[in-house]
Amino acid sequence: MPPISSTLILYNMTESAAKKLDLYHSFAKRQSLSFTKKSKLFISEERNEISELLEKLERSQSLQEQSTIDLLRLRKKLQERHGDSKIAEHKLAKLT
């Protein structure tokens, strides 16, 4: 059986190592939680930005479709007024 003093030294070293391990573990856990929170925030911000861009794209497409419809209506009115599609196309080209 080893002397009491060496057993006590080993016990103290083991206890010290266990405390350090607990400290490292708690530090790593905090860092992991911090990283997770930052990652979730980043992902959330990216999703919001993508949603905003999609909304802008949809509005833009809607406006483009409405503009096309308006141009077709205008072309039809000009053709009705002038009868000749070349004259109507020429006037339409001046307007756009």
- The DSSP line for 23-70 is HHHHHHHHHHHHHHHHHHHHHHHHHHHHHHHHHHHHHHHHHHHHHHHH
Sign of CA dihedral 26, 28, 32, 35: positive
The pLDDT value given to residue 51? 92
The pLDDT value given to residue 17? 86
Q: Is the entire prediction scored with pTM above 0.85?
A: no
Per-residue pLDDT for 2 more than 80? no
Residue 74, CA distances (Å) to 3, 84, 85, 92 in order: 105, 14, 12, 8
| Distance of alpha carbon 85 from the chain centroid | 49
**Mean pLDDT on 39-61:** 92
| Distance between CA atoms of residues 26 and 45, nearest Å | 28
Per-residue pLDDT for 52 more than 90? yes
**Mean pLDDT on 71-89:** 76
**Mean pLDDT on 62-89:** 80
Q: What percent of the chain has pLDDT over 90?
A: 23
